[in-house]
Structure 1
Amino acid sequence: MTALQDIRLSLLDLVAVREGGTVADALAIARRTAQHAEALGFTRYWLAEHHNMSGIASSATAVLVGHVAGATQRIRVGSGGVMLPNHAPLVVA
């Protein structure tokens, strides 16, 4: 049986814009959340890609990954899903 401390944990963030908040607030919260997840020992921080939803700030995951990764040291940051119709084939590859 695997010990709890040997289990790799990941976090998936939708980067929701909170009621009364702004997209800038949501991005700042995502950075702090990734930093906290890293401090807790999480292995990966995934950003979910969604489009055409005013309450979601994760439509440009390629940009957001860099924004979050630039604020962390060791945690692996990536996109948890890519909506294929929104990207050129080379980007998907």
Structure 2
Amino acid sequence: MNDTAPFRLSVLDTVPVFNGVPAAQSLRELLELAPEVERLGYHRYWLAEHHNMPAFGTSTPPVLIGQLAGVTSTLRIGSGGVMLPNHVPYIVAEQFATLEAFHPGRIDLGVGRAPGGE
């Protein structure tokens, strides 16, 4: 990572699941993409939470964040918005504190609110 660059690049990913492609394949490709993003000097990899949308594989940001942090070493990994109306805030805090304990200084928690869902 180049901290002297005039700006930092980040990725915001929804992990697209294309029609006819198994979700497992999209998730495997995510684990291949993150190390390449890191190698290219990106600063952060955000995952956008989406539910009830078969075309997106990001319904569980904490699970994906743990996987991405495990295949990278310097890239900051975070949620591009855990939708708090869908979760118990205390559990979200515990999940991200645990991720931070495993990967100090690399985990980011973005929170938000959104209509929709169940």
Residue 85 of structure 1 pairs with residue 85 of structure 2: yes
Higher relative CO (CA 8 A, sep ≥ 6), structure 1 or 2? 1
Alignment match, 1:43: 43
Identity across the alignment (%): 50
Alignment match, 1:56: 56
Length-normalised TM-score, structure 2: 0.70
C-alpha separation between the residues in 1 aligned to 2:73 and 2:28?
Answer: 17
C-alpha separation between the residues in 2 aligned to 1:81 and 1:6?
Answer: 26
Gaps spanning 5+ residues in structure 1: where? none
Alignment match, 1:14: 14
Gaps spanning 5+ residues in structure 2: where? 94-118
RMSD: 1.5
> Displaced runs of 4+ in structure 1, greater than 4 A?
none
C-alpha separation between the residues in 2 aligned to 1:19 and 1:5?
Answer: 38
Length-normalised TM-score, structure 1: 0.88
Deviation of residue 88 (structure 1)?
Answer: 0.3
C-alpha separation between the residues in 1 aligned to 2:35 and 2:18?
Answer: 19
Alignment match, 1:76: 76
Deviation of residue 89 (structure 1)?
Answer: 2.0
SS in 2 for 1:11: strand
Deviation of residue 6 (structure 1)?
Answer: 2.6
Equivalent residues, number: 90
Residues 11-20 or 41-50, more deviating: 11-20
